[in-house]
């Protein structure tokens, strides 16, 4: 058993030296940062997917609202609804500007039509009940 005690006495300082060395802490930090990089990449990928889905949803809202304006006229919708649609126009435009490869052009005419309709509605002084 003396040999076992001697081995422990030799191994313990080595283990403590390894644990206290900057090399081990550097390795641990590297592994953590590498893991963080992967997580950050996955988070970015999810954010990109969410951003694209928001742009597609905004595009759908824009096109539907433009059709609705043509079918029902500009006086049919509340100011709040117009403001929401204008916000969708801004969301879509910002996304298209920051993602040149994203299919734009599908809503340009509808977007302009919504903005002109909003200006026309509120320059002629029509107010909706709230």
pLDDT tens digits along 14-25 = 666 666 666 666
Q: Do the domain assignments include residue 119?
A: yes
Q: Do the domain assignments include residue 37?
A: yes
Q: Do the domain assignments include residue 82?
A: yes
Q: Do the domain assignments include residue 129?
A: no
Q: Do the domain assignments include residue 130?
A: no
| Sign of the alpha-carbon dihedral angle for 46, 52, 56, 57 | positive
Q: Do the domain assignments include residue 21?
A: yes
Q: Do the domain assignments include residue 69?
A: yes
Per-residue pLDDT 10s for the chain (130 aa) are 455 567 666 776 666 666 666 666 676 667 677 767 777 888 889 999 999 999 999 999 999 999 999 998 877 888 889 999 999 999 999 999 999 888 777 788 999 999 999 888 878 765 544 4
Q: Do the domain assignments include residue 42?
A: yes
Cα-trace Rg, the chain:
31
Q: Which two tokens stand for residue 22?
A: 């900057």
> How many distinct structural domains can be found in the chain?
1
């Amino acid at each position: 058993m003396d040999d076992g005690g001697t081995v422990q006495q030799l191994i313990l300082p080595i283990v403590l030296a390894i644990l206290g060395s900057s090399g081990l802490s550097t390795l641990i930090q590297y592994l953590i940062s590498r893991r963080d990089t992967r997580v950050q990449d996955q988070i970015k990928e999810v954010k990109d997917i969410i951003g694209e889905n928001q742009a597609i949803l905004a595009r759908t809202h824009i096109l539907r609202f433009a059709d609705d304006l043509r079918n029902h006229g500009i006086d049919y919708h509340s100011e709040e609804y117009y403001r929401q649609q204008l916000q969708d126009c801004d969301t879509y435009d910002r996304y298209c500007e920051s993602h040149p490869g994203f299919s734009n052009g599908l809503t340009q005419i509808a977007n302009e039509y919504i903005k002109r309709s909003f200006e026309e509605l509120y320059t002629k002084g029509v107010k909706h009940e709230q």
